[in-house]
Amino acid sequence: MALNSQGRPTRMAENLSTGGYADTFSGSRGLDQSEPLIFERGRSDNTGVDLPKPKGTKTRLGGLDRTADIGLPGLAEPEAMRHYVRLSRKNYAIDLGLYPLGSCTMKHNPRLNEKMARLPGLADIHPMQPQQTVEGAIELMGELAHWLMTLTNTPCVALSPKAGAHGELCGMMAIRAALDARGETKRRRVLVPESAHGTNPATAVQCGFTTDEIPADATGRVDLEALKAKLGDDVAGIMLTNPNTCGLFERDIKTIADLIHDCGGYFYCDGANFNAIVGRVRPGDLGIDAMHINLHKTFSTPHGGGGPGSGPTVFSEALAPFAPVPRVEQTKDGWRLIEQEADADGEPFGRMTAFHGQMGMFSRALTYMLSHGSDGLKQASEDAVLNANYILARLKHVMTPAFDGTCMHEALFDDRFLKDTGVTTLDFAKAMIDEGYHPMTMYFPLVVHGAMLIEPTETESKSGLDRFCDVLEALSEAAKAGDTDRFRAAPVHAPTKRLDETQAARNPVLRWTPPVVAAAE
């Protein structure tokens, strides 16, 4: 082994460039194992699959054969297994502990859901198989639709949207189509509260609307007077999350719905926080015209490190005719899938995606709903709200709640309790990592300074919440006691120290390139 001028092996410095530690020969530390990229490990002549040998007959590719090397490395099965298992161990997960990301509803993911979604009759069927060979799948979609319509008290649901933001797009496109059908060419302004998810304004713009922000009042809810001042004959509608992103129920929601309707607009409700009210409140009773439902939040289909999700969107009578294809419809002979606009009633605004939606998520969500039943779903939302309020009650004396009173399913704090400590919300969050927790949502909603949004969900126990609150109490006290260095250095017990996000954005490296090519650049 080569030694450097200090007599230490040079290998150790090289460890850093592949993500390892510099103070061990291997780059690993105990169970924290360093793992390079597959491109640094695999070879293009290696493979982890056994396939029959091709015959080598002449191709019929019209002369478009791929002759140049692709450059894809392969690993034998045991190598691939180790590579990905080692990497998996560098992830925090709901199965490892509390994951209190506000607005994300990180609840337990039952494995029965996974088992059901993998039944060959549901997983191994093709979207373009003849319909007579997939009647059970269409029935499952119908059953899911029935649950979603009943829970929301709405007459129609579009199942195809592939995630929450896609559901928003579905809802807002229906609003645009309804306005166009009424010949309304002026209504292009959509009211969006300041506290909204970023997807709301981004979605409105994709439907040809402009957005107009409504401020929050002192209680964290829509400022009703400000809203009234913004109404007019150019208003297309409102996009409102309820419960809102401050974790509060919009207590004037029916008035808001009436105001919007009286002014000729539609009410889009962002259903990201539906988990707080499932089984207790039906959004249709609140006057909404459209709402997406995140199956990957409320109905516990796993988030998979960023997706896939599923965002079925329910519609009121006014918007139902504009729902996109495909649709599932109940007939006297059972459920039927309608694929073409020409075969659908009303005026579908178009198609959101190639096929029928996220069937894998439908199977999981229906399994979850059947397991809970109407009674269990109600209990789940009650426990979610109870858990959040318990955290609020336990921490309100050491941290600073953003608003007075109780909350719904998530508790929002601001950073006033960190004033003059030199510790920021980011530092505080990173210190939670050293205590074995995933941090809460940081700096969102934007209406609160240094926001910390904590959503425990219903699947946490009281003793687990007590431990979590003890830790946050202790951290708050440590920050106030001037233990600043500990926060700024955090995390020190994670698989990496704090990562430099500025450098990543300033000098983007978005893929691996062979060392020789990198040197030439």
Partner 1 sequence: MRYLPLTPQDRADMLAKIGVKSIDDLFTDVPQAARLGGTVDLPKHMTELEVERHVSKLASKNTPASSVPFFVGAGAYKHHVPSTVDHLIQRSEFLTAYTPYQPEISQGTLQTLFEFQTQVALLTGMDVANASMYDGSTACGEAVVMASRVTKRRKAVLAGSLHPHYADTTKTLCKYLDIDVVSEPARHDGLGKLTDHITEETACVVVQTPDVFGRLHDLEPVVKAAHDKGALVIAVFTEPVSLGLVKSPGEMGADICVGEGQGIGVGLNFGGPYVGLFACKNDRNFIRNLPGRLAGETVDADGRRGFVLTLSTREQHIRREKATSNICTNSGLCALAFTIHMTLLGEKGLRQLARLNHETACDLADRLTSVPGVELLTDSFFNEFSLKLPKPAAGVVDALVEKGVLGGVPASRLFPGALEDVLIVAATETNTEADLSAFAAALKEVL
H/E element, 518: helix 515-520
Q: Could you say which of 7, 30, 52, 183 contacts partner 1 (CB under 8 A)? A: 52
List the beta strands (DSSP E) in 137-208. 156-158, 189-193
Q: Could you say which of 226, 338, 393, 398 contacts partner 1 (CB under 8 A)? A: 393
Asked if 293 and 300 touch (Cβ cutoff 8 Å), the reply is: no
Q: How far apart are CA 516 and CA 204, in angstroms?
A: 46
Match 């080692």 to its residue by tokens.
86
Report which residue type is found at 41: R
360 binds partner 1 (CB under 8 A): yes
Q: Could you say which of 4, 462, 474, 482 contacts partner 1 (CB under 8 A)? A: 462
Q: What is the DSSP letter of 322?
A: G
The greatest distance separating any two alpha carbons of the chain, rounded to the nearest whole angstrom, comes to: 84
Q: Could you say which of 199, 241, 421, 476 contacts partner 1 (CB under 8 A)? A: 199
501 binds partner 1 (CB under 8 A): yes
9 binds partner 1 (CB under 8 A): no
Q: Could you say which of 75, 178, 290, 447 contacts partner 1 (CB under 8 A)? A: 75
Which among 4-12, 142-150, 227-235, 258-266 is the span making contact with partner 1, rule CB under 8 A? Answer: 142-150
26 binds partner 1 (CB under 8 A): no
Q: Report the residue number, 149 or 418, with the smaller CB distance to partner 1.
A: 149
**Beta partners for residue 453, in sequence order:** 412, 441
Nearest approach, Cβ of 375 to partner 1 (angstroms)? 5
**What character string, x for contact with partner 1 (CB under 8 A) and - otherwise, covers 320-359?**
----x--------------xx-x------xxxxxxxxxxx
Q: Report the residue number, 228 or 462, with the smaller CB distance to partner 1.
A: 462
CA 255, 261, 266 angle in degrees (round to 5)?
A: 110
Q: What is the DSSP letter of 453?
A: E
Q: How far apart are CA 174 and CA 168, in angstroms?
A: 10
Alpha carbon distances (Å) from 267 to 86, 239, 289, 459: 47, 6, 5, 31
Asked if 104 and 455 touch (Cβ cutoff 8 Å), the reply is: yes
Q: Report the residue number, 111 or 419, with the smaller CB distance to partner 1.
A: 111
How many whole angstroms from its chain centre is CA 430?
21
Nearest approach, Cβ of 54 to partner 1 (angstroms)? 4
Residues from 427 through 446 that contact partner 1 (CB under 8 A): 429-430, 433, 438-439, 444
How many CB atoms are located within 10 Å of the residue 238 CB? 28
Q: Could you say which of 102, 171, 193, 201 contacts partner 1 (CB under 8 A)? A: 201
Which among 127-135, 224-232, 312-320, 474-482 is the span making contact with partner 1, rule CB under 8 A? Answer: 127-135
30 binds partner 1 (CB under 8 A): no
Helix extents (H) in 183-302: 199-206, 224-230, 253-262
For the record, the structure tokens of 410 come out as: 């998530």
Q: Report the residue number, 221 or 415, with the smaller CB distance to partner 1.
A: 221
Q: Report the residue number, 481 or 516, with the smaller CB distance to partner 1.
A: 516
Q: How far apart are CA 276 and CA 380, in angstroms?
A: 8
20 binds partner 1 (CB under 8 A): yes
Q: How far apart are CA 444 and CA 453, in angstroms?
A: 7
Nearest approach, Cβ of 395 to partner 1 (angstroms)? 11
For the record, the structure tokens of 115 come out as: 């088992």
Nearest approach, Cβ of 477 to partner 1 (angstroms)? 20
How many CB atoms are located within 10 Å of the residue 133 CB? 10
Residues from 80 through 119 that contact partner 1 (CB under 8 A): 80-81, 83-85, 87-96, 99, 101, 104, 106, 108-110, 112, 114-116, 118-119
458 binds partner 1 (CB under 8 A): yes
Q: Could you say which of 158, 259, 328, 380 contacts partner 1 (CB under 8 A)? A: 380
Which among 123-131, 262-270, 410-418, 471-479 is the span making contact with partner 1, rule CB under 8 A? Answer: 123-131
62 binds partner 1 (CB under 8 A): yes
Nearest approach, Cβ of 481 to partner 1 (angstroms)? 24
Nearest approach, Cβ of 203 to partner 1 (angstroms)? 4
**What character string, x for contact with partner 1 (CB under 8 A) and - otherwise, covers 293-322?**
---x-----xxxxxxxxx------------
Residues from 398 through 417 that contact partner 1 (CB under 8 A): 406, 408
How many whole angstroms from its chain centre is CA 25?
39
Q: How far apart are CA 419 and CA 379, in angstroms?
A: 38
Torsion angle in degrees (nearest 10) through CA of 452, 458, 461, 466: 20
Q: Report the residue number, 119 or 229, with the smaller CB distance to partner 1.
A: 119
215 binds partner 1 (CB under 8 A): no
For the record, the structure tokens of 41 come out as: 């490990």
Nearest approach, Cβ of 315 to partner 1 (angstroms)? 16
Cβ within 8 Å of residue 419, ≥6 positions away:
none
Q: How far apart are CA 277 and CA 285, in angstroms?
A: 12
